Every structure is written in structure tokens, then in C-alpha cells.
Amino acid sequence: MIHFTNVSKRYPGGFEALRDVSFHLGAGEMAFLTGHSGAGKSTLLKLIALIERSSGGQVVVNSQNLNKLGRRRIPFHRRNIGVIFQDHRLLFDRTVFDNVALPLIIAGYSHQEIGRRVRAALDKVGLLGKEKLYPITLSGGEQQRVGIARAVVNKPPLLLADEPTGNLDPELSREIMGIFEEFNRVGVSVLIASHDHALIRSLQHRVLMLDHGALAGDGFLRPRS
Amino acid sequence: MMRDRSRREQQEPAGARGAQLRRQGAGAWLNNYFLRHAQTLFYAIGELSRRPFSTLMTVAVIGIALAMPAGLHVLLKNVQSVLSGWDGAAQVSLFLHQQTREPAAQALAGKLRARPEVAAVDYISAEQAMEEFRRLSGFGDALSALEENPLPPVLVVHPVLSRQDPASLAALVEELRQESTVELAQLDLQWVKRLYGLMEIGRRGVWVLAGLLALGVLLVVGNTIRLAIQNRRDEIVITKLIGGTDAFIRRPFLYTGIWYGLLGGLIAFVLVQSSLGVLAGPVSDLAGLYNSSFRLAGMDLPTTGALLGGGLLLGLLGSWLAVGRHLRAIEPT
């Protein structure tokens, strides 16, 4: 699903956010991306969603070499990736339903199909009764779930999450992770950037560890006994 | 690590929607396309109606800018229609020698009537001329004191309509001057020419004004759309993040521009029509004083169409310029 080959990213001004990173995330695989702040977690996710372009090396997502993907094809690439942000990035002047429906409207689905899929996605994140509410009336955890529903509503084969539990208490964080595991169980590839080591340790998935832009570890964290 | 591969089947494979659309055929796709455009059209008017005051301000500025050239154009057309009544009334006055008797004058009139370029000839005897002058000038009593009639008999020659261009008229006047009984041949067309000259200046002026004000409308719409883009920066970023194409993001702004232009055109129409309504009364009074049944004409269908269509196009163009400049600069980070 995701192939990084000797990828580096240097920002204008000389800051090197990623150095010679190589890894492979298989289809249907779930992994955590961890490391101190500034280690390059967000940059790595941005390269996958083409919010940034790599300065060196090769990024292949969904059998598509991103180096060769033109500007005009970026939107269609992004439709195959569900992205979840720490700050949710919801539209606060629209209802929960309209927020979740946005990817389907963009892709040109029919009215009936949109209603059906939005309700299915809200059902999966446990927000079915709240589709007519505005996001501002929801708690942080619920807002994050709206963000997740929006990311999965058009059934992308890959989910990216950037610190999805950053502002949530441990119990809510565990719930959110449970939702991601459910999607993974039906075959969606999931890559989650997080520095919540306790949570990552308890979940037993593959962990990619970044340190100052370089890949410092790739494996499983042992649960604390 | 690659567990549950088999469950992947539950997910819709990539490209399934494309296949589904292909099955539906081109008709359904086209239907969907127009539906989406119609939705955006009504979405845009909905957004505008949510901010009625600022929308009205913008639309009013556009309306006034469009109303000025449109109104002047309508006024010019009215002046033109007044003039066209006089246009066919080019006539040559032949002032005969004082001592010319009526038979001689009638003989000349008959000779002139036989010419192909002359439509009609009226004979006004010195007495008739005196009578008319007495009646219209208000010098009745003073004129009675005159011992003899100082006015000459006059032949008024009406050329046929096809010979009323300036060159033919000048040639005709030249020939009439050669007649022995004619003292003075006068073609009173100079003032018509001058008026036409003024009209031409007026018409050019309307075009120049229209050009400048169209530029103003472009800037107003462009600036309003620019502000709208800035206000919705977050929405644009999010839409780009979840795969919205440039065309998708551009569309509501373009429709907003179209609405601004169209509503501005409607306001201009109302402004022009009501201004003409205010002028209509005095104009018909004035026309009555000239024994004319002239009535001020309002905007005709082509002019109204041009006004609304022009407003629409200017709105679209203005928003297109703004969108092209500002939308690309907003990228997710």
C-alpha cells in the first residue's frame, strides 16, 4: 500500500525533516508512527497525502509513484486516502451530516447514495443520532469521530491519522483506536502518527519509530508487565 | 502482518464507481453533471440570501454602474426616434422674386413637379405668407401698418425620400438656383447635420462610459469574490484535503459572481425604467407643445437582454479573474 524508498524531505531554509527513510506498509496492515515532536511524523504523512512533495527518493502509494503524479491528479489521489487530523478540521457552519457528506459530494455521488453512506459511516463511529447537530455542540471525542466518519465515508483503502487522540483522555483515546482497529479488520490499511507510547504499547501493532527525521526502529513494542 | 486479506472483498474496490457510471451510460452522467451545476447555482443564491445586506450593497453598486450607460443608451435611442420623424422632412425653400405673379409661380411649380427627384411642391403666395406670419409672430398690428407686403412668394420643394442624402440635395439646390424667377434657394439641413454630429458624440460617449463602468463592475465583483475566498479559506483547504478538484472549488464562486452580475442587471433595469417613468410625464407635455404625440420609449427587449446578459458575463468574468488569482494560492499545509 505504501512504499518509501530512500525518501528525504528538506524544507526551504535547509531544515531536513526526513532523511533516507525506507519502509513498506502492506495492504490491510495497521501501524503506528512514533517519535519525539519534530521527528518528522507529520511530514511523512504529508508526503503520502501529497500535501508536501519529497525532495529525494521515491514514494509509491496504492501502486502510484507520487513523484510522477501531476498537480491536476492530486485530488483523485487524495480521494483514495482518508485523513484524520488532530484538530479535526471540520466545517463549523455545517451540520455533522453535511461534514461527513462532503467527500461524497466532491466525488459526485447521487443524493440517495450520499444519505445511505453518511448514515452508515456515522453508525460505525457511534454518532447516528447526531447528524443534524453542528460540530460546535459536540465534545472533543465526538468531533474526532465526525472527522473519522468523514475520512471513511467513501471507503478509501488507506487511512492516515495525525495524532488523532492528542487532545483526548486515555479512555476516549482507547475508544478511538478501537474504531481504527475495526476498520483495519475489514481490510483498510491504517497508519497512525502518535506519541502516546502507553496507548501504542497496549495495542500491539507494528511501530515505525522516527528520530530526527531518520527511521530508528521498525517492529513491535513489548507490553509493559 | 497482512491478516484478513480475504475481508478486503467487503470493501468496494477502487474504480467500482467508474464502472457503475459506465453502466449507467452517458445520459445519466450528463444528468448528474447538470444536477450538480443546478445545485451549486441554488447553493450560491442561498449563500447570498443569508447575508442580504452586504449582498444588496454589492448588487446595488453593480446596478448603478450598469444603469448609467443603459439609461443613456435608451435616451439616445429616444432622441434618435424624434429625429427620424424630421429626417424625411428635408425641404428646399425657393424664395421667388418679389414681383413674380402667381401664374409664373404656378408654372414653375408645375415644371418642378415633373422632375423625378421631386415628390411635391407647395405654393405659398406672398399674401398667404403674410397671413401666416401675422398669425404666428404676434406682430399683427404692427404688420397692418405696412403699406405693402414685404414677403416674397415661396415654393416649398419636397424631394423624394430616396434623394435626401446630402449630396443629391446639394445638387438639387444648385439646379433650382439656376431658375430665373428664384431669388434664393435655401436648404435647411445644416442643423440636422449638426444634431447628428452631436448624437454621434453622444453614442461614442455612451460606449466609453460603458467600457469604464464595465471595468468598475469587474473590479467590484472581483474584489467581493476575493473577500469571499478569504473568508472561506478553511473550507477551501479542507475541500482540497479530501480530494476536491480546482473546478469543484471554483464552481460556487463563479456562480456567486454570475448572481451578482445578473441581480445587478435587474437593479439597473428597474432604475432605468423608473427614471424613464419619472421623465415620461414632462416629456409628453413638452411633445404636446410641439404638436407631437411623441412618448418616451422604455427599454426594448434587445436592450434588456443585453443589459442582463452583459451583467451576467461581467459577473462571471470578474469572479473568474479573482478565483484564478487567489484560489491557487490556498493550499493545505
Domain residue spans of chain B: 41-85+194-326, 91-188
C-beta of residue A140 within 8 angstroms of C-beta of residue A168:
yes
Cα B221 from Cα B314, distance rounded (Å): 8
Q: Is there a contact between B238 and A187 if contact means CB atoms under 8 Å apart?
A: no
**Per-residue confidence (pLDDT) for residue B25, from 0 to 100:** 67
Other Cβ atoms less than 10 A from the Cβ of A84: the count is: 25
Cα B127 from Cα B125, distance rounded (Å): 5
Cα A17 from Cα A43, distance rounded (Å): 7
Q: Is there a contact between B32 and A62 if contact means CB atoms under 8 Å apart?
A: no
Q: How far is CA A52 from the centre of its chain?
A: 15
* pLDDT one-digit tens code per residue, B11-64: 444 444 444 444 556 777 777 778 888 888 888 888 888 889 999 999 999 999
Cα A3 from Cα A215, distance rounded (Å): 14
Measured between beta carbons, which residues in chain A are less than 8 angstroms from residue B234?
Answer: 89, 91
* Closest B-chain CA to A206: B1
* Closest B-chain CA to A49: B241
**Chain B: nearest CA to A41, how far in angstroms?**
14
Beta bridge partners of residue A30, listed in sequence order: A190
Cα B37 from Cα A22, distance rounded (Å): 44
**Per-residue confidence (pLDDT) for residue B34, from 0 to 100:** 83
**Per-residue confidence (pLDDT) for residue B260, from 0 to 100:** 95
* pLDDT one-digit tens code per residue, A47-72: 999 999 999 999 999 999 999 998 88
Cα A199 from Cα A67, distance rounded (Å): 34
pTM as predicted: 0.73
Q: What proportion of chain A, given as a percentage, has pLDDT over 70?
A: 99
**Chain B: nearest CA to A78, how far in angstroms?**
5
Cα B266 from Cα B59, distance rounded (Å): 9
Cα A21 from Cα A55, distance rounded (Å): 12
Contacts of residue B244, defined as CB under 8 A and 6 or more positions apart, other chains included, come to A75, A106
**Per-residue confidence (pLDDT) for residue B19, from 0 to 100:** 47
Contacts of residue B295, defined as CB under 8 A and 6 or more positions apart, other chains included, come to B280, B283, B284, B287
CB of A11 less than 8 A from some CB of B: no
Q: Is there a contact between A28 and B242 if contact means CB atoms under 8 Å apart?
A: no
**Per-residue confidence (pLDDT) for residue B137, from 0 to 100:** 74
C-beta of residue A40 within 8 angstroms of C-beta of residue A8:
no
**Per-residue confidence (pLDDT) for residue B224, from 0 to 100:** 92
CB-count burial class (<10 Å; 0-12, 13-18, 19+) for B148:
exposed
* pLDDT one-digit tens code per residue, A82-95: 999 888 899 998 99
**Chain A: nearest CA to B239, how far in angstroms?**
8
**Residue B186 DSSP symbol:** E
Helix (H) or strand (E) holding A54: none
**Per-residue confidence (pLDDT) for residue B82, from 0 to 100:** 78
**Per-residue confidence (pLDDT) for residue B241, from 0 to 100:** 92
Topology classification of domain B91-188: Alpha-Beta Plaits (3.30.70)
- Interface predicted TM-score of the whole assembly (ipTM), two decimals: 0.90
Cα A42 from Cα A85, distance rounded (Å): 10
Q: What proportion of chain A, given as a percentage, has pLDDT over 90?
A: 62
User: Once rounded to an integer, what is the mean pLDDT over residues A97-113?
Assistant: 90
Cα A142 from Cα A176, distance rounded (Å): 10
C-beta of residue A55 within 8 angstroms of C-beta of residue A14:
no
**Per-residue confidence (pLDDT) for residue B262, from 0 to 100:** 95
C-alpha cell at A29: 496492515
Q: Is there a contact between A26 and B333 if contact means CB atoms under 8 Å apart?
A: no
Q: Whose CA is closest to A53, among A21, A106, A88, A7?
A: A7
What is the signed CA dihedral for A36, A39, A45, A46, rounded to 10 degrees?
A: 130
**Per-residue confidence (pLDDT) for residue B313, from 0 to 100:** 96
Cα B314 from Cα B216, distance rounded (Å): 10
Interface test with A, best of B11, B242, B250 (most A CBs within 10 A): B242
* Closest B-chain CA to A76: B243
Cα B61 from Cα B67, distance rounded (Å): 10
C-alpha cell at B31: 444528468
List, for chain B, all residue ranges whose pLDDT scores fall below the cut of 50: 1-22
Cα B164 from Cα B174, distance rounded (Å): 14
What SS3 class is residue B184? strand
Find the CB nearest B241 among A28, A78, A107.
A78
Helix (H) or strand (E) holding A148: helix A140-152
Measured between beta carbons, which residues in chain A are less than 8 angstroms from residue B32?
Answer: 108, 110
* Closest B-chain CA to A43: B333
Cα B181 from Cα B175, distance rounded (Å): 13
**Per-residue confidence (pLDDT) for residue A111, from 0 to 100:** 84
Other Cβ atoms less than 10 A from the Cβ of B49: the count is: 10
C-alpha cell at B225: 469574490
Find the CB nearest A102 among B7, B242, B246.
B242
User: Once rounded to an integer, what is the mean pLDDT over residues A163-189?
Assistant: 89
CB of A29 less than 8 A from some CB of B: yes
Residue with cell string 420609449: B297
Contacts of residue B170, defined as CB under 8 A and 6 or more positions apart, other chains included, come to B187
Q: Is there a contact between B243 and A76 if contact means CB atoms under 8 Å apart?
A: yes
Q: Is there a contact between B11 and A107 if contact means CB atoms under 8 Å apart?
A: no
Find the CB nearest B1 among A29, A72, A187.
A29
Banded pLDDT at A172 (limits 50, 70, 90): confident
**Per-residue confidence (pLDDT) for residue A192, from 0 to 100:** 94
Cα B264 from Cα B261, distance rounded (Å): 5
**Per-residue confidence (pLDDT) for residue A27, from 0 to 100:** 92
